[in-house]
Amino acid sequence: MAVPDNATTNANMRPLIDSFGRQVSYLRISVTDRCDFRCQYCMAEDMTFLPKRDVLSFEEIEAITEAFIARGLRKIRLTGGEPLVRRDIMSLVERLGQHVKSGALDELTLTTNGSQLARHAYALADAGVRRINVSLDTRDPALFTEITRRGRLQTVLDGIAVAREAGLAIKINMVAMRGVNDAEIEPMMIWAHENGMALTLIEGMPLGEVSVDRVDTYLPLRELRDRLAERFTLEKIAKRTGGPARYVRAKETGGELGFITPMSHNFCESCNRVRLTATGQLYLCLGQEDRVSLRDALREGGVEALDAALDEAMRIKPKGHDFVIDRDQPAPAVNRHMSVTGG
| Annotation: binding site | 28, 35, 39, 41-42, 77, 81, 111, 135, 171, 205, 268, 271, 273-275, 285
Residue list for the binding site for GTP: 28, 77, 111, 171, 273-275
For residue 129, give the nearest of 159, 145, 107 by alpha carbon.
107
* Of 132, 64, 86, nearest in space to 275 by CA: 64
Q: How far is CA 192 from CA 164, 240, 334, in A?
A: 12, 19, 33
At 7, which helix (H) or strand (E)? helix 6-12
Phi, psi of 173 (to 5 degrees): -100, 125
Residues 61, 11 contacting (CB under 8 angstroms): no
Chain centroid, CA 13 distance in Å: 26
Choose among 280, 279, 335: nearest CA to 313: 280
Closest CA to 9 of 62, 59, 63, 74: 74
In one letter, which amino acid is 181? N
Indicate the annotated binding residues for [4Fe-4S] cluster: 35, 39, 42, 268, 271, 285
Q: How far apart are the first and last CA of the chain?
A: 28
CA torsion through residues 68, 341, 32, 125, sign: positive
User: From the annotation, which residues make up the binding site for S-adenosyl-L-methionine?
Assistant: 41, 81, 135, 205
CA distance to 152, 156, 201, 275, per residue, from 143 (Å) = 10, 14, 18, 30
Amino acid at site 174: M
